Structure 1
Amino acid sequence: MTILSLSDWLECPQGQYLLQWEQAKFDLMVSDIFGYNAVQIGLPQHDFLRSNRIPFRLACAQSGRCGIIADPDALPFATASVDLVLLPHVLEFSQRPHHVLREVERVLVPEGSVIISGFNPFSLWGLRRLIARGRGHFPWCGQYLSVRRAKDWLALLGFETQGGSFGCYAPPFTHATSLEQWRFMDKAGDRWWPICGGAYILQGIKRVQGMRLITPNWRDSRATTKRLSPVAQRGREVHGIQKTE
């Protein structure tokens, strides 16, 4: 079977194995993020925002049935207008992944969140991609980004990384039976080799530096009151004579 897109690959046993793990992680991470607007970029066939309670949720992709059709590196949203952005496997299949992150930073409000999922190059899945030499069908034709590089890019754009995990430790077998037989590696992997999962999910929070809350100088006001009060209480002057009360 010819696989022409990542969506097609997600229908095969390998893709279903990955999708099951990622859906559970997205459900957990988006459940406690609040705001007014949330956008999922890419893979509109799968609702990774389903557990989020933000009132306006939108899918944006380059094609398919979605709310808005647009390129991920040229988002049609106003600056600082979105509270949450999801990037499920967008960066490794984009020609300009850094521009995608710049656009996400632009549209996010201060303290807004971006959640990224990607394939881990330092894993059995990354080894499978090396064997394919970056060619062939999805998902082996992507440019996999390591967690360290993703964190570096986020930090350069003013994001603070918070939360995240690895998963899918079983080898990328083609058949569902083989994947099930190696499922024991998922439990062992979290304990013994946690950074070698085939996929990862990572959250970044947009921080705005230089913001300071300005409050009244209550200390100076109290000092002035203390300095003036004894004069009024000590007495009043009548015809040039100080009269004590």
Structure 2
Amino acid sequence: MQHLSFERPIITLGSWLQTPLGSYVRAWEQTRLDALTSDIFGFNALQVGMPQIDALRANRMPNKWLSDIRVPVDGDEARPPVVVVHDFAELPFASQSLDLVILPHVLEFATEPHQVLREVERVLIPEGQVIICGFNPASMWGARQVTGRLSGANFLPQHAEFISMPRIKDWMKLLDLGVNRGYFGCYAPPFRREKWLNRFSFMEAAGERWWPYLGAVYMVQAIKRVKGMRLIGPAWTQRSAQMPQGMPATNKIRRVK
């Protein structure tokens, strides 16, 4: 398998996603992404990284791409066309050309996550949307990761720098990306074994009700706002409204011209 260089070994996330913990996270994110993207319309959509899930599976846009840092090989599952990049902070798309961009756990592995987010803002059209997935440091899983690093036994991918949802919202606000929705999920305790994760599956419903901000992962949806933009009617509407009421229709048309 051929890989392109990247600022941090984001590829280690792929191996972690094959574990029972990773499967648990992928299942929740896939379900939530299917629900969110099915009602987003447009022409061009992009998923940046994490080919282990099909973030655009439920979306109905005619043009969909997956931007990744590796060349696809035989045996890979069917996905949208892959756009291979060296750096997610330099997307090979024109400014204001995409209706939807999805960043699943990309910012956590980027050396300059602000620049990645600025690049996403650049390629989005006005009123375009971005969806970001991330690990929640203010959770039981986040606390387990902190203690694991002290002992040298990482619970989550070791090369990631986890970013809280409030911090992501602050970054988006600076880029005029208005947060529309936010979700938390994966409330099971930090177990590594699948049987224990399954036994505590009841905590999904309980967590959403009683401690909604302590989910192990989160998802943020935002819309690109452009200051000063407003819809206006045709120019002739105001002019025709100012004409005398008794003027014949033919004269009205001549004056408009």
Give 1:217 shift: 6.7
Higher mean C-alpha displacement, 23-32 vs 59-68? 59-68
User: 1:57-206 to 2 correspondence within 5 Å?
Assistant: 57-65=64-72, 67-70=82-85, 71-133=87-149, 138-206=156-224
Gaps of at least 5 residues in structure 2 are 1-9, 73-80, 249-257
Q: How far apart in 1 are the matches of 2:163 and 2:31?
A: 22
189-198 vs 214-223, which deviates more? 214-223
Q: 1:164 to 1:224 in 2, by over 3 A?
A: same
What's the TM-score once normalised by structure 2's chain length?
A: 0.82
Is the 2:181–2:221 contact (alpha carbons within 8 Å) kept by the matching residues of 1?
Answer: yes
The Cα shift of 1:224 comes to 3.7
C-alpha change, 1:136 and 1:214, in structure 2 (3 Å) is: same
- Cα distance change, pair 40–227 in 1 and its aligned pair in 2 (3 A): same
Number of the residue aligned with 1:55: 62
Identity of aligned residues (%): 48
* Structure 1 residue runs without a partner (length 5+): 230-245
Q: Distance in 1 between matches of 2:208 and 2:129?
A: 25
Specify whether residues 108 and 227 from structure 1 end up closer, same or farther in structure 2 by C-alpha distance, changes over 3 A only.
Answer: same
- Whether the 8 Å CA contact 1:165–1:201 is kept in 2: the answer is yes
TM-score by length of 1: 0.86
Match of 2:252 in 1: none
Q: Alpha-carbon deviations, 1:138-193, whole Å to 9, x = none?
A: 52431111111111111110111112210001122111111112212111100000
- The aligned amino acid for 2:82 is G
* Structure 2 match to 1:38: 45
Q: Report the residue type matching 2:92 in the other structure.
A: P
Structure-1 separation of matches of 2:135 and 2:169: 14
CA distance in 1, matches of 2:41, 2:108: 27
Distance 2:15 2:23 in 1: 11
- Change beyond 3 A, Cα 1:172–1:141: farther
Q: CA RMSD in A?
A: 2.1
Given residue 213 of structure 1, which amino acid in structure 2 is its aligned partner? L
Could you give the per-residue CA deviations for residues 201-244 of structure 1, whole angstroms, max 9, x where no partner exists? 11011111112334437566444414879xxxxxxxxxxxxxxx
Task: State whether residues 26 and 53 of structure 2, in contact with CA within 8 Å, keep that contact through their aligned partners in structure 1.
Answer: no
Q: Is the 8 A contact 1:132 1:140 kept in 2?
A: no
Q: Which has the larger radius of gyration?
A: 1
* Residues 136 and 76 of structure 1: CA distance in aligned 2, closer, same or farther (over 3 Å): farther
Task: State which drifts further: 169-178 or 61-70.
Answer: 61-70
Partner of 1:237: none
1:241 corresponds to: none
Amino acid at match of 2:205: K
Letter in 1 for 2:101: V
Q: Secondary structure at the match of 2:111?
A: coil
Number of aligned pairs?
A: 227
